[in-house]
């Protein structure tokens, strides 16, 4: 049965089994520190498999963003159009993030979360500082592109790639061969994504079993009000607000979008990282939804860095919750500051696990809420991080689809084809024709004759 199942089916089954098994390990007490399961299973085998999986995704992020974006810019071919797509994307990302946080604040106020609650801070929260906004802007141009790539500084990589793309366009015709080669490299990297996707069921299983075995769901009950409003706001924003926005501005089918997004969101959920999910998001929007690479190669990595609707929702809900617990009254101006700060903070911080808490301390500092209040929600944040990351990538893909559709850079036939992009799987075998052609190239092709020459000269 497993053999005949489609990849998405396998990933979903792996997710469900992982969650159930993890919770079983947690509640049965098997994960007690120092015990066999804790040492060799959750922190041994599962930790290794999970880490290998996340690493294999991260490994592809920088090369994929760099190469696909250079190809994307060359594909657009018109610098003014590039500027228009850029500013349109930025504007929609910011607007949807503001909508997200407004929803969270609204629901938080309606349900009065945290009012009359009396809980002890469980863990002290050490606020890590977020990069100052000025640095974020001045670092967009990297002084050393190699170190920007080594550090995965997404905005700098985006800048560098766009600059290369524009320069290639300026060189014009002679650079045609270069662009063709880059396009081939892009295809090769996407094949690597395909290979890794086929390992996803195992990776997702390992990550979720480990996470659930360690976290359990106990803490959620003690903070039920906070968790319920937060989860409700996340669901409302993604399933209602974003889907209305998608329908209104693109006319695309909501059902198709949601079905095709499932895999991406499971990846985001299990890795808690929009950045690590970039290869999957990019592959899905281009191969499964028909978005042209010229749009997606820019909007997806850009969104993973600056667009965090789910994280913004957490900022809004947490602000109301902590303010109520400490009995602090926030004014309308404070709420507006929270919205503005969350939107700005999302620009400067990358989509990696736990970054939402860093942004939250920035927001709290602005409106004068006690930073140590964050300690109250620390325990549940790991699980909520998974959920909000799924909403973050959902927003990136929805805006990508809207922008692509509005610019006529989308193949609707691919979008509407339920099987698009699902046939490209890796089952451990290489197409025999490809193998034969390659052996011919190497035995008597261009390379072969060149090497003959070298040999003769020796």
- Name the residue nearer to ligand ASP (CB basis): 250 or 275: 275
- Name the residue nearer to ligand ASP (CB basis): 22 or 351: 351
- Name the residue nearer to ligand ASP (CB basis): 145 or 356: 356
Phi, psi of 199 (to 5 degrees): -90, -5
Q: Is 233 in the site for ligand ASP (CB under 6 A)?
A: no
- Name the residue nearer to ligand ASP (CB basis): 130 or 308: 308
Q: Is 363 in the site for ligand ASP (CB under 6 A)?
A: no
| Residue from 209, 293, 311, 400 in contact with ligand ASP (CB under 6 A) | 311
| Residue from 104, 306, 352, 369 in contact with ligand ASP (CB under 6 A) | 352
CA distances from 75 to 71, 281, 292, 299, 409 (A): 6, 19, 9, 14, 11
Please count the residues of the chain: 458
| Residue from 153, 263, 385, 396 in contact with ligand ASP (CB under 6 A) | 385
CA distance 257 to 243: 9
Q: Is 272 in the site for ligand ASP (CB under 6 A)?
A: yes
With CB under 6 A as the rule, give the number of residues binding ligand ASP: 15
- Name the residue nearer to ligand ASP (CB basis): 130 or 168: 130
Q: Is 96 in the site for ligand ASP (CB under 6 A)?
A: no
3-class DSSP string for the chain: CCCCCCHHHHHHHHHHHHHHHHHHHHHCCCCCCCCHHHHHHHHHHHHHHHHHHHHHHHHHHHHHHHHHHHHHHHHHCCHHHHHHHHHHHHHHHHHHHHHHHHHHHHHHHHHCCCCCCCCCCCCCCCCCCCCCHHHHHHCCCCCCHHHHHHHCCHHHHHHHHHHHHHHHHHHCHHHHHHHHHHHHHHHHHHHHHHHHHHCHHHHHHHHHHHHHHHHCCHHHHHCHHHHHHHHHHHHHHHHHHHHHHHHHHHCCCHHHHHHHHHHHHHHHHHHCCHHHHHHHHHHHHHHHCCECHHHHHHHHHHHHHHCCHHHHHHHHHHHHHHHHHCCCCCCHHHHHHHHHHHHHHHHHCCCCCCHHHHHHHHHHHHHCCCHHHHHHHHHHHHHHHHHHHHHHHHHHHHHHHHHHHHCCCECHHHHHCCCCCCCCCCCCCCCHHHHHHHHHHHHHCHHHHHHHHHHHHC
Which region, judged by CB under 6 A, interacts with ligand ASP, from 81-89, 143-151, 164-172, 266-274?
266-274
| Cα diameter, the chain | 88
Q: Is 288 in the site for ligand ASP (CB under 6 A)?
A: no
User: Dihedral, CA atoms, 197, 203, 207, 208, nearest 10 degrees?
Assistant: 80
Q: Is 305 in the site for ligand ASP (CB under 6 A)?
A: no
Which region, judged by CB under 6 A, interacts with ligand ASP, from 101-109, 152-160, 169-177, 352-360?
352-360
- In the numeric block, the tokens 């400067």 are attached to 348
- Name the residue nearer to ligand ASP (CB basis): 352 or 383: 352
Q: Is 241 in the site for ligand ASP (CB under 6 A)?
A: no
| Residue from 58, 283, 388, 405 in contact with ligand ASP (CB under 6 A) | 388
The distance of closest approach from Cβ of residue 218 to ligand ASP in the complex, given in angstroms and rounded to an integer, is: 22
- Name the residue nearer to ligand ASP (CB basis): 93 or 415: 93
The distance of closest approach from Cβ of residue 179 to ligand ASP in the complex, given in angstroms and rounded to an integer, is: 32
Q: Is 58 in the site for ligand ASP (CB under 6 A)?
A: no
Q: Is 274 in the site for ligand ASP (CB under 6 A)?
A: yes
The distance of closest approach from Cβ of residue 314 to ligand ASP in the complex, given in angstroms and rounded to an integer, is: 6
The distance of closest approach from Cβ of residue 385 to ligand ASP in the complex, given in angstroms and rounded to an integer, is: 5
- Name the residue nearer to ligand ASP (CB basis): 379 or 421: 379
Which region, judged by CB under 6 A, interacts with ligand ASP, from 55-63, 269-277, 315-323, 424-432?
269-277
| Residue from 308, 343, 363, 420 in contact with ligand ASP (CB under 6 A) | 308
Our measurement of the distance from residue 217's CA atom to the centroid of its chain's CA atoms, rounded to an integer in Å, reads: 24
Which region, judged by CB under 6 A, interacts with ligand ASP, from 94-102, 248-256, 388-396, 402-410?
388-396
User: Which residues does 94 contact at the CB level (< 8 Å), separation at least 6?
Assistant: 343
Which region, judged by CB under 6 A, interacts with ligand ASP, from 200-208, 250-258, 348-356, 446-454?
348-356
Residue of this chain nearest to ligand ASP (CB atom): 356
| Residue from 353, 373, 394, 395 in contact with ligand ASP (CB under 6 A) | 353
Q: Is 225 in the site for ligand ASP (CB under 6 A)?
A: no
Q: Is 354 in the site for ligand ASP (CB under 6 A)?
A: yes
**Contact positions vs ligand ASP (CB under 6 A):** 272-274, 308, 311, 351-356, 385, 388-389, 392
């Amino acid at each position: 049965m497993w053999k005949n199942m489609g990849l998405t089916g396998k990933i979903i089954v792996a997710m469900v089994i992982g969650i159930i098994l993890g919770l079983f390990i947690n509640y049965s007490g098997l994960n007690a520190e120092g015990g066999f399961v804790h040492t060799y299973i959750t922190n041994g085998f599962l930790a290794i498999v999970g880490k290998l999986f996340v690493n294999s995704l991260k490994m592809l992020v920088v090369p994929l963003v760099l190469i696909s974006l250079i190809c994307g810019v060359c594909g657009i071919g018109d610098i003014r159009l590039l500027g228009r797509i850029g500013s349109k994307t930025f504007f929609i990302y910011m607007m949807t993030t503001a909508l997200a946080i407004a929803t969270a604040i609204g629901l938080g106020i309606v349900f009065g979360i945290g009012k009359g609650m009396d809980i002890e801070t469980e863990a002290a929260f050490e606020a890590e500082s977020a990069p100052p906004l000025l640095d974020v802007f001045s670092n967009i141009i990297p002084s050393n592109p190699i170190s920007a790539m080594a550090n995965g500084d997404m905005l700098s990589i985006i800048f560098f790639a766009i600059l290369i793309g524009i320069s290639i366009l300026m060189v014009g015709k002679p650079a045609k061969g270069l662009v063709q080669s880059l396009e081939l490299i892009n295809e090769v990297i996407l094949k690597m994504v395909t290979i890794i996707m086929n390992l996803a069921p195992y990776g997702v299983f390992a990550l979720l079993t480990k996470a659930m075995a360690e976290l359990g769901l106990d803490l959620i009950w003690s903070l039920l009000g906070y968790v319920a409003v937060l989860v409700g706001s996340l669901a409302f924003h993604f399933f209602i607000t974003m889907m209305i926005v998608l329908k209104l501005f693109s006319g695309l089918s909501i059902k198709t979008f949601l079905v095709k997004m499932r895999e991406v969101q499971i990846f985001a959920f299990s890795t808690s990282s929009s950045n690590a999910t970039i290869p999957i998001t990019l592959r899905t929007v281009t191969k499964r939804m028909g978005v042209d690479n010229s749009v997606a190669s820019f909007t997806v990595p850009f969104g993973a860095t600056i667009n965090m609707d789910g994280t913004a929702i957490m900022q809004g809900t947490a602000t109301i919750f902590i303010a109520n617990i400490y009995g602090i009254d926030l004014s309308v101006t404070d709420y507006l500051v929270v919205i503005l700060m969350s939107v700005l903070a999302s620009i400067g911080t990358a989509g990696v696990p736990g970054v939402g808490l860093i942004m939250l301390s920035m927001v709290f500092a602005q409106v004068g809420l006690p930073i140590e209040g964050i300690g109250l929600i620390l325990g549940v944040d790991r699980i909520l991080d998974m959920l909000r990351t799924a909403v973050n990538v959902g927003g990136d893909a929805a805006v990508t689809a809207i922008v692509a559709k509005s610019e006529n850079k989308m193949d609707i036939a691919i979008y509407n084809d339920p099987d698009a992009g699902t046939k490209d799987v890796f089952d451990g075998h290489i197409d025999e024709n490809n193998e034969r052609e390659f052996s011919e190239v190497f035995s008597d092709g261009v390379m072969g004759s060149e090497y003959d020459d070298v040999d003769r000269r020796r």
